[in-house]
Amino acid sequence: MNSPANRPKVIIIGGGFGGLAAARALKNAPVDITLIDRTNHHLFQPLLYQVATGGLSPTEISAPIRSILKDQRNVAVLMADVCSVDRAAKQVSLVNHAPIAYDFLIVATGGRHHYFGHPEWEALAPGLKTIEDANRARQRFLGAFEAAEKAETDAERKEWLTFVVVGGGPTGCELAGVLPEIARKALAGEYRRFKPSDTRIVLIENSAHVLDNFPDDLRVYATADLKHLGVEVIPLRKAADIQPDHVMLDDGTRIPCRTVFWAAGNRAGPICATLGAEQDRTGRVVVTPFLHLPDDTSVFVIGDAAHVRWLGDGTVPGVAPAARQMGECAGTNIERLLAGITHLKEFSYIDKGSMAVLGRNKAIVAAGRLHFHGVIAWLMWLFVHILYLAGYRNRLLVLLEWAYAYVTYRRGVRYLIKERID
Ligand SMILES: Cc1cc2nc3c(=O)[nH]c(=O)nc-3n(C[C@H](O)[C@H](O)[C@H](O)COP(=O)(O)OP(=O)(O)OC[C@H]3O[C@@H](n4cnc5c(N)ncnc54)[C@H](O)[C@@H]3O)c2cc1C
């Protein structure tokens, strides 16, 4: 056993699903772990759309990383922004802090939105990755109704009441699916110069169907459910331009609107590029089946930042269970390396299924050959999301918040900061 002073140093960058799982997997290892995250909280991203639409508050879907790991004595948590990794010197550089040396490094930095060469769209069409993003989206969504009430012409009001979601994956569909209910039920009767039911919600999807990763039958249900809710689904189209008062599609169709949400593309964080390793076209680092870099067993990359082969030509999807499983595998492999075991554990993704919610009582679930939709799928979705939320307090609060919203149709978090409503 190493003495505490010269125990191997493990740095984990990122306190998301992957980073936390890696830290926990090393709980009994004779190492000193420093988990670095630029935020002080672990975020349950699957429920971010609820924060963006005023259903939940940020504190209900996040928990302080420090508090989650407080009982694990071999972990220190550092709130800092990592700007690069120097593999030759075996250290990471931080913003406003001296570099820190490692013996083993786990990169679990997730991803950011990708605007396909149009970074200028980000200001007009925010994506959903962080609490700040969700707050900004809620501000834009609720602020649009305030602006509609003040609009001087019908045309302008119509623009404020048109919401465009770009990208028909789970995030885009979840967001588009919840907007009609809010507009038509939660806000009903509150405005004098328009009916919230006049709201138009448009979902633009590049491929033939929304939710491309789901089986055909469920995609058909999902499209029908969205249409039934009042969402206009426009397949086989891309956004060619986004301006403050319209979205232009690639066939020249102009959609006048003032509020656009981006759910179309992801790219691994910029730290990945500093590793000097092969990256795929979305910036993910190509790792071995053991999750370390091909030429370096001291650097592991996991979660949304990693490109890991799966099912022939495919790659492991960017979902929370995959990130968690990779964290466990990386932790196990570091323990083996420390023990001098050269036979490392190969990562094998256990696919527990996929689910997407499409508004009240509507969801789809694919678990192997079992497919569910409608109320049963919705209840399964509720159960799983409550189960995996960090912290009992959050689980209880979210349950109460949802029960309240289910019965009353009301959203609990309606405050706006003075910004867009001027
Ligand atoms: C809106 C949305 C909905 C989703 N819905 C689902 C769902 O329903 N089911 C599902 O399974 N998955 C879902 N996902 C995907 C899932 O959340 C991700 O696959 C998962 O979070 C990836 O985990 P990770 O640990 O790789 O990264 P993350 O959980 O993104 O964590 C990365 C962490 O790294 C930190 N970080 C990044 N860069 C730096 C840096 N330079 N310095 C310091 N810290 C840094 C970040 O602050 C963050 O805490 C959703 C994602 C989003 C955005």
CATH of the domain at 322: 3.50.50.60
Query: 303 C-alpha to center of ligand 1: Å?
Result: 8
Test site for ligand 1: of 62, 66, 84, 109, most ligand atoms within 8 A of the Cβ? 109
Secondary structure of the chain as H, E, C letters: CCCHHHCCEEEEECCCHHHHHHHHHCCCCCCEEEEEECCCEEECHHHHHHHHCCCCCHHHHEEEHHHHCCCCCCEEEEECCEEEEECCCCEEEECCEEEEECCEEEECCCEEECCCCCHHHCCCCCCCCCHHHHHHHHHHHHHHHHHHHHCCCHHHHHHHCEEEEECCCHHHHHHHHHHHHHHHHHCCCCCCCCCHHHCEEEEECCCCCCCCCCCHHHHHHHHHHHHHHCEEEECCCCEEEEECCEEEECCCCEEECCEEEECCCEEECHHHHHHCCCECCCCCEECCCCCEECCEEEEEECHHHEECEECCCEECCCCHHHHHHHHHHHHHHHHHHHCCCCCCCCCCCCCCCEEEECCCCCEEEEECCEEEECHHHHHHHHHHHHHHCCCHHHHHHHHHHHHHHHHHCCCCCCCCCCCCCC
Q: Is residue 274 part of a domain?
A: yes
Q: Is residue 356 part of a domain?
A: no
* pLDDT string in tens for the chain (422-residue length): 455 678 999 999 999 999 999 999 999 999 999 999 999 999 999 999 999 988 889 988 999 999 999 999 999 999 999 999 999 999 999 999 999 999 999 999 999 999 999 999 999 999 999 999 999 999 999 999 999 999 999 999 999 999 999 999 999 999 999 999 888 888 888 899 988 888 999 999 999 889 988 999 999 999 999 999 999 999 999 999 999 999 999 999 999 999 999 999 899 999 999 999 999 999 999 999 999 999 999 999 999 999 999 988 889 999 999 999 999 999 999 999 999 998 999 999 999 899 999 988 899 999 989 999 999 999 999 999 988 886 767 888 888 888 888 778 777 777 787 765 54
Q: Which domain holds residue 183?
A: 119-264
Termini Cα distance of the chain: 64
The answer to whether residues 275 and 216 belong to one domain is no
End of a domain among 338, 355, 379?
Answer: 338
Q: Is residue 127 part of a domain?
A: yes
Catalytic residue among 159, 174, 328, 401: 174
End of a domain among 338, 368, 390?
Answer: 338
Q: Is 335 a catalytic residue?
A: no
Q: Is residue 66 part of a domain?
A: no
End of a domain among 338, 364, 384?
Answer: 338
Name residue 151's amino acid.
A
Query: 4 C-alpha to center of ligand 1: Å?
Result: 32
The answer to whether residues 147 and 158 belong to one domain is yes
The answer to whether residues 124 and 244 belong to one domain is yes
Q: Is residue 95 part of a domain?
A: yes
The answer to whether residues 251 and 334 belong to one domain is no
| Count of structural domains, the chain | 2
The answer to whether residues 260 and 276 belong to one domain is no
The answer to whether residues 171 and 230 belong to one domain is yes
The answer to whether residues 175 and 292 belong to one domain is no
Determine if ligand 1 sits within 6 Å of the CB of residue 304.
Answer: yes
Q: Is residue 30 part of a domain?
A: yes
CATH number of the domain that residue 164 is part of: 3.50.50.100
Query: 40 C-alpha to center of ligand 1: Å?
Result: 14
Determine if ligand 1 sits within 6 Å of the CB of residue 320.
Answer: yes
The answer to whether residues 197 and 126 belong to one domain is yes
C-beta of residue 63 within 8 angstroms of C-beta of residue 391: yes
Determine if ligand 1 sits within 6 Å of the CB of residue 172.
Answer: no
The answer to whether residues 20 and 137 belong to one domain is no
The answer to whether residues 194 and 127 belong to one domain is yes
